[in-house]
Structure 1
Amino acid sequence: MSWLPAPVEELFGAEATVEEAYDLLTVDVPAAEWIAALKTARTTLECTYFDWLSAVDEPESGFRVCAHVAAVAPGSVRRLLLRTTVPHTAPVLASAVEVYAGAAWHERETHEMFGVDFTDHPGLDPLLLPDGFEGHPLRKDFVLAARVAKAWPGAKEPGESEHGGPKRRQMLPPGVPDPNEWGPLKGQLPPAPARPARGARAA
């Protein structure tokens, strides 16, 4: 199909399927053929540019792992999306790092967010989530903790949350006169807090 030099079954194996839309060629392969498919993309199809790798949680089938690569030549770009699926019960897939070194961080993120275990990866250390975080937040079955049960630290402004915290100090913007000293309400309002001296720091 399209720019493939041979039938998809000949390039990626008998179980491979292909489709094309919006100048993007998508090839699906079994998980056992994942590394072989990546090698074919890099060597045979000259897709030496690695763009990204991630996953999608498909509740009825498993985790669909996707890798977007491209063959870049003067005046042309051929884009290829390789996909495979691993089951929810055993989300294990061979690491793509040996073929595309740039996949290392992407696999760390996918492991963190979906729980997919990439075998032979040099180190699936946490990348984005805080220490001690439990679960994989991009799974469809991940339950978000209610703010009632766990305090939400992102109040709009300091002091605007029922969980407490200091309020932001009120002050007049530079160049704005005190309305109690000038204007129709002069002498009728309590004085506004004075602006701190230039260069002064809060204790």
Structure 2
Amino acid sequence: MFTGIIETLGEVGKLNREGSNLHITIKSTLANELKIDQSVAHNGVCLTVVSLNGNTYTVTAIDETLQKTNLGNLAVGDKVNLERAMILGSRLDGHIVQGHVDQTGTCTKIEEKDGSWVFYFEYDASKNNPTIEKGSITIDGTSLTVVDSEKHAFSVAIIPYTYEHTRFNTYEVGSVVNLEFDVIGKYVAKLMSH
């Protein structure tokens, strides 16, 4: 379980394919605080630490994860949003994030507005993942509030702190992002469909 509050950015140091698996080695200031078997969200995808080496650690993404997320598009040197699992009893500053990406979306427009930014995204609505205005959405692991919502698109406003400390400063029109829709909204949508 995560909160969607990004702790730091990591950098992809090495990618190693083994069958359909991808071993991802990340350089991060968090590495010396991690332990093997610990869960860490990478662009919102919960992955298990399988090895540690100084200021780097390695996680493994299976084929299903690579097919449903943007992790298969990673290249050495890419920045990755990182968050360790939530500590029970701490404040929940973002919203409940499972680390289970529902689908990807594509950035369609970026507007600078008086020192902040509005990012617009589209996604495949046939998967029945809802957004609602002022509801929660997770983009590459970052907990955000939906500004405008349509059946297949939404926008979010990004403050300078979030822009500087997450992958948002690397996005451009056409960037593919991981989307995890609000867990409560998903349950309500499922119940309403029956």
TM tier relative to shorter chain: under 0.3
Q: Which entry has the higher C-alpha Rg, 1 or 2?
A: 1
Greater strand proportion: 2
Larger RCO (CA within 8 A; separation ≥ 6): 2
Relative to the length of structure 1, the TM-score reads: 0.22
